[in-house]
Chain A
Amino acid sequence: MTDLLTITGLRRDFGSLRAVDGFDLTLAEGDRHALIGCNGAGKSTVLHMVAGAVRPTGGRIAFAGTDVTRKPAHRRSRLGIARTFQTPAPLDSFTCLENLTLAARPHDATSRWRPSRRRAALAERATAQLAALNLADRADTPASALSHGQRRLLEIAMALMAGPRLLLLDEPAAGLTDADMARLLECLGSLPAELTVLLVEHHQDVVTAIADTVTVLHNGRTLTSGTPAEIAADPQVAEVYLGTAA
């Protein structure tokens, strides 16, 4: 298996605060990895740096053999890094179907010289994607009219329309009802096997269901990493979470 994402010595300072302090991570194609830790541990900052939304202060991020450390977000998206936001961010003034076709267009390789065929192909893919998420009846609904859970699913669908190799999920389960959570797990469970997923999450259930490996961040550094079962049994992790560190 080849390495898809290689993060070495990643650092980020916000003023005098060192949010991420020498973080390393290597992910291979098809890996499902979760970053966990308390608030302020630096999980989301790592995710933002991989997506290109935050510039690293130091360190290096390589994706599929390319150094992307200094590349802006849209270039990384073109290379195959897709993301979702902590607050679901589908484009409110567009319908669900429009959101998906708009998301697919920059990554679409169909001939430019056949615009009508291209539009039809995109619409077909978008419709199939909506059906897979049980949103088929919402195709013509503006994204602003969706529930929080539906917006989350739509946002993940938008990310998938790009045909990414790496999917970054920033707390996908935050604020979901139990029913929405079941749908989210179903959606994430049916992701293509070759897709690499890097997930920041608080919910233990989601981490256990999705991730093969887990990294625990504490004060911007890796505390430990292992399988979800190992992490759950690690007394060090419990100490950090319960605030009883020696």
Chain B
Amino acid sequence: MDLLDAYLPHVIGGVTYGLLLFTVASGLTLAFGVADVLNLAHGTVFMVGGYAAYLVTDGSWWGLVLAALAGTAAGAVFGGALSGAIMPLAGRGHMMQALLTFGVSMVVGNLLVQVFGSAELRPDLPDVLEQPVVFLGHNYPAYHLLFIGAAGLLAAAGWLVVTRSRVGALVRAMVDDQDMVAALGVNPKLVLAGVLAVAGALAGLAGALGAPILGPSLHAANTVLLQSLVIVVVGGLGSIGGAFVAALLVGQVHTLGVALAPEWSPYLLFAAMAVALLVRRPPQLLVGGRTT
């Protein structure tokens, strides 16, 4: 019990970080699974959301709500437009998309640093969220607990939309057969545009709400992108349920793993990925999501 108690803060921290990554990775896996778009500027979209949050927060609760909206909108516009622009390249293989978006991410990332400076810019939160909260005998930043609640709600809402709603059904149908969707009388381009905008919006929202946990920077953009790619691969391309499990796993590796085995920490993520690839039977939410 004592051992569990000692590591509880790391576990909670891992859940926080895992949910943060899930919000980013779910968009990446959705865009890949449905629209066949691999956007390596996804981490930069996260960064854009973080700066948007920094710009609009003023220490009030409304500022925080505004930050979420601004991050979502900025992500939908930047991420959605970029993904839409590279969709026609899908026929020429993912390498073209990867190179182009990687280049865009470097250019935009460095421009953002030019504008905002290289210091980590923290959004201005309401005071009460900056206070520690006692939970099961440990102190936690209040904001982290709020974030777990918000991201958990978002994940649940996303799950309901994808599995239960008509829009979700159309998105899943797009994975099966786009020509059939068109033949049924639904504009497949409209569904694709919506998916790409939502994918960007999720990264922007994660950047905005995640900024107090992981502030916007080139390093954050690269870390989030790399870990999201690991999550997408481990969870199964196009599988949102798989991404959820993988994100929580990566979150634990990121915090608990580092606390338990600090000297191994640089390798833990990739060791975990190798193990997961060897043993997994991914739960595929978007059936038809590819498995390798």
A-to-B contact residues, CB < 8 Å: 51-53, 72-75, 77-78, 82-83, 85, 89-94, 98, 102-103, 105-107, 158-159, 162
Contacts and interface: CB of A to CB of B under 8 A. Distances in A.
A80 to B, nearest CB: 10
Contact of A92 (B176, B179, B188): B176
Interface residues on B, range: 20 to 34
Given A53-B179, A85-B179, A93 B184 contact: no
Secondary structure of the B side of the interface?
A: helix
B3 interface: no
B119 interface: no
Contacts of A78: 185
Nearest to A98: B169
Nearest to A119: B166
- Which among B172, B180, B186 has the greatest number of chain A C-beta atoms within 10 A? B180
B173 A94 contact: yes
A75 B177 CA distance: 17
A115 B188 CA distance: 23
A75 B166 CA distance: 19
Given A74-B188, A78-B185, 11 more contacts: A51-B183, A53-B179, A53-B182, A74-B186, A77-B182, A77-B183, A85-B179, A89-B177, A89-B180, A93-B176, A93-B287
B180 A85 contact: yes
B175 interface: yes
B187 interface: yes
Contacts of A83: 183
Given A92-B287, A93-B288, A106 B183 contact: no
Contacts of A53: 179, 182
A7 B290 CA distance: 41
A77 B184 contact: yes
B176 to A, nearest CB: 4
Nearest to B288: A93
Nearest to A144: B287
A102 B184 contact: yes
**Minimum-distance CB pairs A-B, first 6:** A77-B185, A106-B185, A93-B287, A73-B182, A91-B176, A89-B180
A225 B172 CA distance: 43
Given A93-B288, A102-B169, A105-B166, A74 B185 contact: yes
Contacts of A51: 183
Contacts of B180: 85, 89-91
B287 A162 contact: no
Nearest to B189: A72
B160 to A, nearest CB: 15
A52 B180 CA distance: 12
Contact of A73 (B172, B173, B183): B183
A115 to B, nearest CB: 9
Interface string B254-292: 000000000000000000000000000000001110000
10 contacts: A52-B182, A74-B182, A74-B185, A74-B187, A74-B188, A89-B179, A91-B180, A92-B287, A92-B288, A106-B184
